[in-house]
Amino acid sequence: MSESDQPIVSFVMPIRNGMPFLDEALRSVFEQTLDDFELIVVDDGSTDATPDVLARQRDERLRVLDGAGAGLVAALTHALSEARGAYVARMDADDVSEPQRLERQVELLDRNPRVGMVASWTSIIDADGRELRREPLPTRHQDLLRRLLLRNPFAHGSVVLRRAALDEATGYRVDYGANEDYDLWRRLGRRWELACVPERLYRYRVHADGVTATDPDRTRLREQLRDEIWSEYAGSLRDIRETVRAGRRYRDLNERLFRDHLADQRALAREAWRRRHPLFCARALAAAMALGSGRYGGRSWSPSARVA
């Protein structure tokens, strides 16, 4: 711990029936190169061997709380009420953090006091840990906000939050079901910057029992939330010049990131047309033309084309 006996970071991990991935997830936390943290696990009514795995742990940084089966948002809120760190790191019980994850993200937060949340690039892995693909993210705040108009771009478990920003945004809410993180990002973006470390620091596991795979209301509530994000943010995200400049920097950083950035501009143009934002549509299309030299990766653009 630090000299004040308060950890720099509070890892927060809600869990329900976390077998068979929990051991690996815990190990990846305990092996972080930045070791000044606490890990708060909320066992939200597990009926498998999760309590046994937690009871076997001997790391003094771990605290286990009873979530009583009240649900994800309640478990997160319970954990936050006990968290003592100036930063809050999320971690899911079926994922893996790379050893330098925390160190890199805390460095960025320390250097940038207006950043309220920092994510990282991720690997998508299957139930056996095999990498399926890699997901780079933009690093510029405005580009991350533009991506919020299209989808939730962040793996929830990959982020580190500034506690002051989290509190100002009033934490997690139940209004949007399993989209509690998407809702939080849009509220953080009102007064704080979003950021990303351009390194692969997190492995996100997809499997049949994941929360997002089992919530039937997630899509409906996500689209409701996305309608609200368009109403709130679309008018302030029309810049062309900086979007193009950023895209050229992304091309130097990672080819996949550049292609995704270009695809975002096409998708934003189509979505803005559908939502009757003609000025946004025109500017997003102009950015796509500048980035792609008018070729759009070999495909022509039309307002009626489906969003990518």
Per-residue H/E/C for 57-78: CCCCCEEEEECCCCCHHHHHHH
What pLDDT shows up at residue 42? 98
What pLDDT shows up at residue 43? 97
Can you tell me the distance from the alpha carbon of 215 to that of 11, in angstroms, rounded to the nearest whole number?
Answer: 25
- The answer to whether 14 touches 72, Cβ cutoff 8 Å, is yes
What pLDDT shows up at residue 294? 40
What pLDDT shows up at residue 208? 79
What pLDDT shows up at residue 162? 98
What pLDDT shows up at residue 215? 67
Can you tell me the distance from the alpha carbon of 268 to that of 265, in angstroms, rounded to the nearest whole number?
Answer: 5
What pLDDT shows up at residue 216? 72
What pLDDT shows up at residue 152? 97
pLDDT digits (tens, 9 = 90+) for 139-184: 999 999 999 999 999 999 999 999 999 999 999 999 999 999 999 9
Can you tell me the distance from the alpha carbon of 200 to that of 120, in angstroms, rounded to the nearest whole number?
Answer: 6
- The answer to whether 90 touches 119, Cβ cutoff 8 Å, is no
Can you tell me the distance from the alpha carbon of 208 to that of 41, in angstroms, rounded to the nearest whole number?
Answer: 22
3, pLDDT greater than 50: no
Q: Which range is least confidently modeled, 56-65, 120-129, 286-295?
A: 286-295
- Tally of residues, the chain: 308
9-15 average pLDDT score: 98
Q: Among 203, 178, 216, 167, which residue's Cα sits nearest to residue 73? A: 178
pLDDT digits (tens, 9 = 90+) for 29-85: 999 999 999 999 999 999 999 999 999 999 999 999 999 889 999 999 999 999 999
Q: Tell me the CA distances in angstroms from 107 to 37, 80, 193, 224, one per residue in order.
A: 14, 22, 15, 35
State the pTM of this model: 0.91
Q: Among 7, 17, 70, 72, which residue's Cα sits nearest to residue 39? A: 7
- The answer to whether 137 touches 91, Cβ cutoff 8 Å, is no
What pLDDT shows up at residue 217? 87
What pLDDT shows up at residue 213? 54
- The answer to whether 67 touches 43, Cβ cutoff 8 Å, is yes
pLDDT range class, residue 2, cuts 50, 70, 90:
very low
